Structure 1
Amino acid sequence: MTPYYAVIFTSILYTTTKGYEKMAQQMEELAKKQSGFLGISSARNDIGITVSYWNNEQAILDWKANVDHQLAQKLGREKWYASYKIEIARVERTYEFSKKIKAL
């Protein structure tokens, strides 16, 4: 399945985040419908990290240009994010490990 692309979105939220979770869920559902979308992983503590996976760079550009996504980006800058960083990487290889756990 390689190569494919990863968009790494690292963010720090303001203390006021009313509406953020709902918007994040809506954007994830919308991204899943976008052509070229492969998947998403996300974690948040003090810093949030969301990695979305895409078939190619054009799919990433199309997602960035999505009107609903642009509105979410605007609201993020105005209301929710103290800062964020976006990195785009081409994934050449992947490795995975999963320990099998015996049932007691």
Structure 2
Amino acid sequence: MVWWRDRESLRRWREDPRHRQAQHLGQQRWYRHYEIQVAELVREYAFPAPTADNEWSSHE
């Protein structure tokens, strides 16, 4: 998954000559098929990763 700051950043990457060249090379040498999906994030949830102070454990 790739994240872009905004649509303009995505457009610049998509049209970058080096990216176009790499894309062409990939199509010729490695990939017979690939798909790209472009989506917008509507909502995001997160929780803190366990640390030594708050490590998760089962207390059953």
Is the structural similarity TM-score above 0.5? Answer: yes
Higher strand share: 1
Query: Considering only CA atoms, is the larger Rg found in Structure 1 or Structure 2?
Result: 2
Amino acid aligned to 1:90: E
The 2-side partners of 1:82 and 1:66 are apart by 23
Structure 2, unmatched stretches of 5+, are: 56-60
Structure 1, unmatched stretches of 5+, are: 1-50
**Could you say which residue in structure 2 is the equivalent of 1:79?**
29
The verdict on how the C-alpha distance between 1:83 and 1:98 changes in structure 2, with shifts beyond 3 A counting, is farther
Alignment of 1:10-49 (within 5 A): none
The 1-side partners of 2:10 and 2:49 are apart by 33
Q: C-alpha deviations, 1:51-81, integer Å up to 9, x for none? A: 1111211211110100000000000110011
- State percent identity of aligned pairs: 28
Which structure exhibits the higher relative contact order, with contacts defined as CA atoms closer than 8 Å and separated by 6 or more residues?
1
